[in-house]
Amino acid sequence: MRMQLSIIINFYNMRREAARTLFSLSREYQRDIEEIEYEVIVIDNGSPHALDRNEVEKFGSEFKYRYFQAANASPCHAMNAAIQEARGDYVMCCIDGARILSPGIIHYALKSAQLYSDPFVYTLGMHLGLEPQNISIEQGYNQLIEDQLLGSIDWQNDGYLLFDVSSVALSSKNGFFSELSESNCFVIKRSCLIDVGGFDEQFTSAGGGLVNLDLFNRIHAHQYFTPVMLLGEATFHQFHGGVATNVSMNNHPWPVMEQEYQRIRNQPYATVHRPPVYFGHLPEQCRRFLNA
């Protein structure tokens, strides 16, 4: 069977988070993917405490572990190398591996992508916890609290329950019908992503800085792409000490990230947006986020 989808997911010092994220990409968890041929390219971008190959590949024959000795703190080179290696007609890119995926995300993303000649399918970002983690960290939110939160629901058997214990990420504004500026899980034809240049490796700061927003802009600037916002699905960010997601607003590195962006693009950052097509479904748990 032809490889339909390559999922590329990046980790850095995320052993705890990777176990949940990778499970959420397995056939045991994802729904309605019996006829989908896919692979998961799991990147460890130079972690001092690297992922264990056996712990990655135990989730199924689809999972392939790749360790990169990173030249800098940015995941861009590793992501681009994985895109080149990928065998799928489409790629799903997750630059931040700390995010658990909802259980219909593969099915609905691929189904919607196949409706258009040049699709760009993107998803909503959520944070575990009742407030975005940039805010909840100031109130003591941490990994222990998060473990207890996840232990209070049977998300492994019904991933839509994650909506009940989560909040909309600040980057996702007011929910599914907001004007987004980035997505940490998107699907695009592999050939198209290569044509637009992938993740710009001039972004060398930790986490890639604004590279994900930059790529979102560059794709939207090409009129031949059809943007598709996936309804009813999302990614759920785990607390892991992230460069931008797990610091208080007073300590957020946005000014440094924007300086890097301006140096590369010779202009201030501004969102390039086109109204998307909406595709998907509306599980009961996610309906309060239609316009949160």
Per-residue pLDDT reduced to its tens digit, 272-283: 999 999 999 999
Residue 146, pLDDT above cutoff 90 = yes
Mean pLDDT of 90-119: 98
pLDDT > 90 in the chain, percent: 87
Does the pLDDT of residue 244 top 70, yes or no? no
pLDDT at residue 253, rounded to an integer: 78
pLDDT tens digits, 8-63: 999 999 999 999 999 999 999 999 999 999 999 999 999 999 999 999 999 999 99
Is the pLDDT at 243 greater than 60? The verdict is no
Identify the band that residue 242 occupies on the pLDDT scale cut at 50, 70 and 90.
low
Percent of the chain with pLDDT strictly greater than 70: 96
Distance CA 68, CA 266 (A): 30
Structure tokens at 281: 């479904």
Residue 83: band (very low, low, confident or very high) from pLDDT cuts 50, 70, 90: very high
Mean pLDDT of the chain: 95
What is the average per-residue pLDDT within 241-267?
79
Residue 278: predicted pLDDT? 98
Enter the pTM of the model: 0.96
Q: What is the pLDDT of residue 183?
A: 97
Is it the case that residue 250 has pLDDT exceeding 90? no
* Domain ranges within the chain, ordered by starting residue: 5-289
Is pLDDT above 80 for 291? no
Question: What's at 264, amino acid-wise?
Answer: I
Assess whether pLDDT exceeds 70 at residue 221: yes
Topology (CATH) of 5-289: Spore Coat Polysaccharide Biosynthesis Protein SpsA; Chain A (3.90.550)
pLDDT of residue 167: 96
